[in-house]
Structure 1
Amino acid sequence: MSTLEEHVDVGVPIDEAWAGLHRVGDYPRFVEGVREARTEAGGRTRLDVEAGGRVRELEAEVSDRRGERVMEWHTTGAPELLGSFSLQPIDQNNTRVQARLEYDPNTVRETFGGPKGFAQANAIERLVRSDLQHFKECVEQGR
Structure 2
Amino acid sequence: MSTLEEHVDVGVPIDKVWDLLHQVESYPRFVEGVRGARSEAGGRAHLDVEAGGRSREFAAEVSDRKGERMMEWRTTDPLDLAGSFSLQPIDENRTRVQARLEYEPGTIRDAFGGPRGFAQANAIERLVHSDLEHFKEYVEQKR
**TM-score if structure 1 supplies the norm length?**
0.99
Give 5+ residue unaligned stretches, structure 2: none
Equivalent position of 1:35 in the other structure: 35
Q: 1:58 Cα deviation (Å)? A: 0.5
Q: Distance in 1 between matches of 2:111 and 2:102?
A: 15
- Return the alpha-carbon distance in structure 2 between the equivalents of residues 73 and 29 of structure 1: 19
- Quote the Cα distance in structure 1 between the aligned partners of 2:2 and 2:120: 11
CA shift for structure 1 position 55: 1.1
SS at match of 1:78: coil
Mapping of residues 1-143 of structure 1, within 5 Å: 1-143=1-143
RMSD, aligned α-carbons: 0.5
Partner Cα distance (1:52, 1:140) in 2:
30
Provide the secondary structure at the position in 1 that maps to 2:27.
Answer: helix
* 4+ residue runs over 4 A deviation: none
SS of residue in 1 equivalent to 2:4: strand
Q: Secondary structure in 2 aligned to 1:137?
A: helix
CA deviation map 1:56-87 (0-9, x unaligned): 00000000000000000000012100100000
Point out where structure 1 has 5 or more consecutive residues left out of the alignment: none
**Cα separation, 1, equivalents of 2:97 and 2:24:** 16
C-alpha separation in 2, matches of 1:65 and 1:114 = 34
Percent identity over the alignment is 76
- Give 1:20 deviation, angstroms: 1.2
Separation (CA, whole Å) in 1 of partners of 2:54 and 2:100: 25
State TM-score, norm by structure 2: 0.99
Deviations 1:87-125 (A, max 9, x none): 000000000000000000000010011100000000000
Query: By how many angstroms is 1:53 displaced?
Result: 1.1
Kindly state the Cα deviation for residue 44 of structure 1 after the two structures are TM-superposed: 0.5
